[in-house]
Amino acid sequence: MCIRDRKKSIKKKATKKKAATKKTTKKAPKKGRNVEELTAFALGSANTQYPDTYAPEVLEAFDNKNPGSDAWTTFVCTEFTSLCPKTAQPDFARIYINYIADKKMVESKSLKLYLFSFRNHGDFHEDCVQKICDDLTKLMKPKFIEVIGEFTPRGGICIYPYASNSNNKKIYKDIRAKRFSEYAPGKYT
């Protein structure tokens, strides 16, 4: 084979390879969120305002793109603080939020700001956990939600409050009843 024929052969192979590559590299359909959906959120804003009192109004929700599917979402806040309503001493906890979304989901930065707003809020541990569960239920109307607080000991006693809620569908009412009846510290965290 002469040099000219060899060059033609190599060029043909390169052209075939390029054509094959073009056929297989199709653009995937765009599945992300569009800009209009995201403009109203505090996420990404240059100036974050941290509330200094209990502030449920900072919570934001966005549309769940898969409301027909069931999936667990879990948030863990490792630095939750509130104040004892009697002594004004700080209380520290891990807060676990587990939920199955319906049509809405909570935006994580707004949740962080909301949980931060308890820092100067005076309430008992059980009341804080119940309030978080109620506020998130009101915001999202999830299929199922549970909130668990693992508060550090004060006076040698740990307190682990649990609150839950569900919609009226039997499957979610059953989940709620089962998890509530079987709850023990550490079971769902």
Secondary structure letter of residue 66 according to DSSP? -
Neighbour count for residue 61 (Cβ, 10 Å): 18
Say if strands 72-83 and 61-63 run parallel, antiparallel, or are unpaired: unpaired
Q: Which of 77, 137, 81 is nearest to 111 (CA)?
A: 77
The answer to whether the CB of 96 falls within 8 A of the CB of 75 is yes
Instruction: Check if 84 is active-site.
Output: yes
CA neighbours closer than 13 Å in the CB half-sphere of residue 94 = 12
Check 70, 84, 134, 135 and give the catalytic one: 84
Q: Annotated catalytic residue: which of 91, 102, 128, 133? A: 91
User: Distance between CA atoms of 137 and 122, rounded to whole angstroms?
Assistant: 22
**89-120 b/e with 16+ CB inside 10 Å = b?**
eebebbbbbbbbbbebbbbebbbbbbbbbbbe
CA distance 142 to 144: 5
Catalytic residues: 84, 91
